[in-house]
Amino acid sequence: MQDARPASPLLTVSDFERAARARLSRMAYDYYRSGADEGWTLRANRRAFRRLEIHYRVLVDVAARDMSTTLLGTKVPFPILVAPTAYHRMAHPDGEIASSRAAAELGAIFTLSMLATTSLEDVAAASDGPRWFQLYVHKDRGITRALVQRAEAAGYRALMLTVDTPVLGRRLADVRNNFVLPEGLAMANLVGAIPADGVERKGSPLTAYIASRHDASLTWRDIEWFRSLTRLPVLLKGIVRPDDAVRALDCGAAGVIVSNHGARQLDGAPATIDVLPSVADAIAGRGVVLLDGGVRWGTDVLKALALGASAVLVGRPVLWGLAALGGEGVARVLSTLRDELSIAMALAGCPNLGSLDRDLVRVAHP
């Protein structure tokens, strides 16, 4: 990474991405940016937002806007969370600690990836902001149980179980770049739990982890088992179907994340904003409905909330901010999206989140 600060003003998420690209190695940038195979779903996630128009209301008192909400018992000042993403220290030496502190500064929930380059205990010790923990189920269920116990002991408030990864999607950029973690970085939460056996030293550590340790036989029965491990609320991440969303709640989940894994798993999966309304209808208020994938503007957040999301998560934008300016960049990305949402709500005639409804958003005519 280069040391020079960006010369141009950083006003949008796209500005931060350009600044991050200039600072990151090609391997790191491609790892963060790319999707699976042809990248069709990667493009669809963003294009789907562009197809939606905001049919704004006028002559509404929007002198004061309230963006606050409560998620699983935690009140947050605005409905934008940090999504779990791997390997923050590849973007900046301060890694997940800088990202979590920036989120805490703004009162946003920070979700730590199991594949972080900083341990969940070190992240918990770095700030007192609200934190969730994301993980996968291992073939060795003892590893999964231990991770859950560590997260509970460290004060994480919810668990996010990713369920869309029985095998790893083919990320062609990583294959072509022969992606490996830079020297000195490791999947910190798995150090000691997964012994080096040769396969982890060949190529992508993520690919090796999924191939050798991840449980591809996971079924709905195992969700009930996982739920039995913890007193914390459990969210299932990777849902795109209404029937799966209902079954998640029937298994004891507190909610779902409408997600296609940032388009990094199945190329050809639907854009998340397109399936959000049907999932929200199926949930019918029984649990939390969150969305990730393609959120780059405050207007995207508004559209997602209007179509049934309780809040959205952002992943790549946080990494762009971290790579560009460290923790300051993460805070600026989150505050930029927050401020864009506030302006969009004012211009759409919506003084609070309760005033965001489906009548506000319509598919654009061709």
As annotated, the active-site residues are 261
Contact 267, 35 (CB under 8 A): yes
Residue matched to tokens 């197809």: 51
Residues 260 and 37: their CA atoms lie apart, in Å, by 14
Tell me which residue of 299, 137, 306, 168 sits closest to 234, measured CA to CA: 137
- Backbone dihedral angles phi then psi of residue 235, each to the nearest 5 degrees: -115, 140
Tell me which residue of 259, 246, 47 sits closest to 169, measured CA to CA: 259
Other Cβ atoms less than 10 A from the Cβ of 17: the count is: 23
Residues 326 and 319: their CA atoms lie apart, in Å, by 9
CA distances from 316 to 58, 297, 329, 349 (A): 34, 13, 12, 29
